[in-house]
Chain A
Amino acid sequence: MDLTGALLRAGAARPHVLTVTAPGATVVRLAAEDQLRRRGWPAAMTPAGADILLVAGEAAGLLAEAVEAAWQAMPAPRARAVAARPDEVAAALEAARARLGDRAVQQASAADTASRGDQGQRAPEGHEGGDHGHEHGVGDHGHEMSDEHGHGASGGHGGHGHGHGEHGHGMGGMDMPGGLPMADRGDDRDGLRLDQLHLPLGPVLPDWPAGLVLRVTLQGDVIQHAEPEILGGGSGSFWDEPWRRAADGERVTTAEAARRAAAAYLDSLGRFLAVAGWDAVAAAARRLRDEALAGAPSGPLRRDARRLARRVARSRVLAWLTGGLGVLTAAEAATAGVAGPAVRAAGDVTARYRRWCADLEAAVAVLDDASLLGPGGPGPPRGPAGDDGAPSAGLVAMLPRLLAGAELAGARLIIASLDPDLDQLPAGVEAAHGH
């Protein structure tokens, strides 16, 4: 009896998919999330929890390295799928699932992962050294590697736990077990100089802005210093498309723009709620977003969106959890070149997501307005886009100040409540520093 094969096939009926979105590939990501929801395939959080690694868009440069590292970190059974365009998603997922249920393919894959010294089935007890740069938490795949490759076998690979940080360079001569560097100590707000951890967050991280890497210095889980890095912009945001077309002189109706804006707010809310750990409502927001983009009738859409917006905006627990986090005054935001909800909210995380809810209600109110998009209609979801990457460039530039002193959980909420869309940044800003 082929028990393994049967289990493989049974498991492949519902694979967990880790989606990595390349800059400029929001459309592909949306198609992928829609597909996963329809199929009932859960989204994986980490390479360790994933069966299929789906690359949405074309990963290049540092992102390609991060994808490769994530792939190396995935235990068998595993399969890889690449979809450059939205219409390729379904076929890519189906092919990946077929490979996932194929015993011969998976046994080869398992042998492959087992042969990599530090990744085998047999767990070497204690401290096995290895020279792969991919054995870390999700946050840090690949990125550190690219800096360290020149160091040879035991270069530092960043992001290890155990209170160890790493300082990138300078441990070439030290013979550390496992190639792990010792941590440095640093000042902290509580006056205790404890070990620091240098950890890149992203790009392979769930519910994280595509193409963003945040290099953080942690003491405990308090961020002492954060430096954003951008893996490349897109050629204009998907969410700004109706306004861009209107500016080019095309005929765009208010209804079309409102639908896009509503979907954008729902997308942002979905990401924010997922980070806040309110999975059920996050899933509802994403489902509504997919329906809005698929052209669902405006009546039920309006009703459901309003209900969701009110439920989120009125939740006292959520407001209690997010109050006082990441306060951004209107003046500060304006100087940084930020517009849109983040400025109009002028406050903490709570104010920002409530602003989204209000804007969402306003957008769904004009879903049937067939008039031409004018200045009185709904604006672009993140505020007017500029050639220099505004407003998302400004949002990213503010991260270091807002995140310093925040705890990891708070920092994730702050980032999700700003929700920068790196597709707004001009293409080819590879590895540009946010400030």
Chain B
Amino acid sequence: MTTAVFWVLALLAAASGFMVFRFNSMARVTISLMVSFLASGGLLVLLGLGYLGVVVILMMVMEMVIMAVFMIAYMMNPAGLMPMAMFHNKRGSLAIAVVTFALLAAGIFLTPWPHRSGAPPRDATRQLGTALMGSQMLTMITLGFTLLATMVGAVVLATQRGRYDRFGDDLKRRPPSDPVRGGVGR
């Protein structure tokens, strides 16, 4: 049963991952990547990582839908109605990718993997939580700050308007001039 599920999910993950670079339509590309992530999430659940697997599914659905918005906004031919190739150095990339895969595969089968040390915990989620709030606290803090920096950085990079645009040169304009008024009226 689990083996069958594994094969289905593994093939789905690989095939939809492959289709990401075959579809013309940006919508299908994004949804295809999403399906690949959903399959990986399922595989993580299969490995006993219920929490992380479901979180990957949850996050990737949201992320891919938002990604689709950007893909379609910025691509010239979002619906792929006019097939066009946008590649550079296709053969070189293919060669690099194939060689990488071959090396990795060789490594996978040649490495004498150690035996499993210890048994899986009764509750993998608790294990993760205890680690992040205990021994791995530093990692958690770093990740937290990274995310905060990302939020600030992404907004600064993407936005065009600042507070001087909204509140005027002396920052005294009330209400601020916005193209569309928000719901709170800051």
CB neighbours of B79 from chain A (8 A): 162-164
Which residues of the partner chain A approach B106 to less than 8 Å between Cβ atoms? Answer: none
Within B35-78, which residues are at the interface with A (CB < 8 Å)?
Answer: 72-74, 77-78
Do most interface residues of chain B lie in helix, strand or loop, or is the interface mixed?
loop
Does residue A190 face the partner (Cβ distance < 8 Å to B)? yes
Contact indicator A177/B81 (Cβ below 8 Å): yes
User: Which A residues touch B121, using CB under 8 A?
Assistant: none
> Interface size on B (CB < 8 Å)?
14
By a CB distance below 8 angstroms, the chain B residues around A77 are none
Chain A residue at smallest Cβ distance from B182: A324
Q: Complex: how many Å from CA A330 to CA B81?
A: 49
Q: Specify the chain A residue showing the minimal Cβ separation from B76.
A: A182
| Binary contact readout A175-195 vs B (1 if CB under 8 angstroms, 0 otherwise) | 011101010000001111010
Asked whether B122 is an interface residue with its Cβ less than 8 Å from the other chain, the reply is no
Choose from B74, B81, B181, B183 the contact partner of A178 (Cβ within 8 Å): B81
Given A162-B72, A194-B73, A176 and B180 touching (CB < 8 A)?
no
With A163-B72, A163-B73 given, is the CB distance from A176 to B179 under 8 Å? no
Say yes or no for B154: interface residue by CB 8 A criterion.
Answer: no
Interface centre among A163, A176, A178, A192 (most CB of B within 10 A): A163
User: Which single member of B72, B74, B160, B179 contacts A405 (CB below 8 Å)?
Assistant: B179
- Is A316 at the interface (CB under 8 A from chain B)? no
Question: DSSP majority for the A interface?
Answer: loop
Contact across chains for A320 and B73 when beta carbons are under 8 A apart: no
- B82 proximal to A (CB < 8 A): yes
Contact with B along A318-329 (1 / 0, CB 8 A): 001001110000
A156 on the B face (CB < 8 A): no
Kindly list chain A residues whose C-beta atoms are within 8 Å of the C-beta of B77: 182
- Which residues of the other chain, B, contact A189 by a CB distance below 8 angstroms? 179
Q: How far is the CB of A401 from chain B (nearest CB, A)?
A: 15
Q: Which residue of B27, B180, B183 contacts A407 across the interface (Cβ within 8 Å)? A: B180
Q: Within 8 Å CB of A191, what residues of B?
A: 160
A407 / chain B contacts, CB cutoff of 8 Å: 180
- Give the complex CA separation of A169 and B81 in angstroms: 19
Question: Nearest-CB distance from B62 to chain A (Å)?
Answer: 20
B78 touches A162 (CB 8 A): yes
A127-B78 in contact (CB<8A): no
Contact of A177 among B72, B74, B82, B183 (CB under 8 A): B82
Q: Which residue of B is nearest A321, CB measured?
A: B183
Whether A180 touches B179, Cβ cut-off 8 Å, given contacts A163-B73, A191-B160, is no
Q: List 27 A-B contacts (CB under 8 A).
A: A162-B27, A162-B72, A162-B78, A162-B81, A163-B73, A163-B78, A163-B79, A164-B81, A176-B81, A176-B82, A177-B82, A178-B81, A180-B81, A182-B77, A190-B160, A190-B179, A191-B160, A192-B73, A194-B73, A194-B74, A222-B179, A323-B181, A324-B181, A325-B181, A405-B179, A407-B180, A410-B180
- By Cβ-Cβ distance, the 8 closest A-B pairs, closest first, are A162-B79, A324-B181, A177-B81, A191-B160, A163-B78, A189-B179, A163-B72, A127-B81
Interface residues of B (CB under 8 A from A): 27, 72-74, 77-79, 81-82, 160, 179-181, 183
- Given A164-B79, A189-B179, 16 additional A-B pairs, CB 8 A: A162-B78, A162-B79, A163-B73, A163-B78, A164-B81, A176-B81, A177-B82, A178-B81, A190-B179, A192-B73, A222-B179, A320-B183, A324-B181, A325-B181, A405-B179, A407-B180
